[in-house]
Amino acid sequence: MSWVPLVTEDRASPDVKRVYQFLNENWGFVPNYYQALGCDLALLQDQVNLFTHAMFEERVLPRVVKEQIALVVSGIKLSNYCLAAHLEILGRMGIDKSMSRKLALDYTKAPVEPKVMALFQFADKLSRKPADMEKSDVDRLREHGWSDAAILETSLVVSLYACANRFSAGIGLVADF
């Protein structure tokens, strides 16, 4: 159980229930992450919008790659909640559990194409040593064929999950599925 009260659907205001309905329709469930924000409709809606636009809309990176990046980052940060969430989401997307576990525990051993591995390595450095990022890190992604838009999207996903990892740890969220 979370260290702060969650706003479950049965306790939610009509406006919050509408956001939860959207989550159920689009995500298949209402994560505890959002139930923790259910006490503040504006923050809840902002977070839902940000994560939905960043993770679900296919702009440059395929959704499955973004979810894999989220899992890699959550593994690096040892986020119990986000690890469980993204293992579940990738499973629902049809990704084999053994592949997801490799991404979570040691992405370097995951059987992915070199182009995608370059994204994971970038995500790793940005997660562990953000102050050490250099232009050469971006140039390396370009050498692997990634566009500036893909690099921006990758940086956003890594940053979002740094936030989500800390938020979930800070309030004691537990997996809710």
Q: What is the CATH number of domain 63-170?
A: 1.20.1290.10
What integer pLDDT is reported at residue 177 of this predicted model? Answer: 65
**Mean pLDDT computed over 21-39:** 91
Pinpoint the alpha helices (H) of the chain: 14-27, 32-36, 41-51, 63-76, 80-92, 97-106, 114-128, 135-143, 148-170
Domain ranges of the chain: 9-56, 63-170
Task: Provide the Cα torsion 50, 51, 56, 60; round to 10°.
Answer: 70
pLDDT, tens digit (0-9, with 9 covering 90-100), for 75-134: 999 998 888 888 988 998 999 999 999 999 999 999 999 999 999 999 999 999 999 999
DSSP string, 5-51: ----GGGS-HHHHHHHHHHHHHHSS--HHHHHTTT-HHHHHHHHHHH
For the entire predicted model, the pTM comes to 0.91
**Listed ranges 28-37, 61-70, 77-86; the one with the highest mean pLDDT:** 61-70
Average pLDDT, the chain: 94
pLDDT, tens digit (0-9, with 9 covering 90-100), for 129-157: 999 999 999 999 999 999 999 999 999 99
